[in-house]
Structure 1
Amino acid sequence: MRLKDKVAIITGGSRGIGFATADKFLKEGATVVLAASSQESADVAVDKLKEKYPNAIVAGISP
């Protein structure tokens, strides 16, 4: 839990390297806000991450 009590904002977090980064940060205990090109893709990514880390704090936003 090296990132406990830290907040990460990840752009492009709904897929690819951004999604993998969000996953790793959650694994290390961070709170994650991921930004995506659409709210739908942000919501899908958040749902996947919450399924894997049910106690984590993660949110998704889009422009």
Structure 2
Amino acid sequence: MGEYKNKTYPLRLDNNLMDKLRKLAEQEDRPLSKQIERIVREYIQAYEQEHGEINLDE
């Protein structure tokens, strides 16, 4: 069996926040996990635009 390329991470969120995430994912026709990944990716891009690239070698 092949190795899954993405890491899994247990995430606990407030029920209201989770319901809103589910609604957004539904509106954008995207699985919840992909919606969360997209939001995190956009946050990191915005952060790096303001503060510079995050160096993973440090």
Return the TM-score normalized by structure 1. 0.28
Q: Which of the two has greater helix per residue?
A: 2
Q: Which has the higher strand share?
A: 1
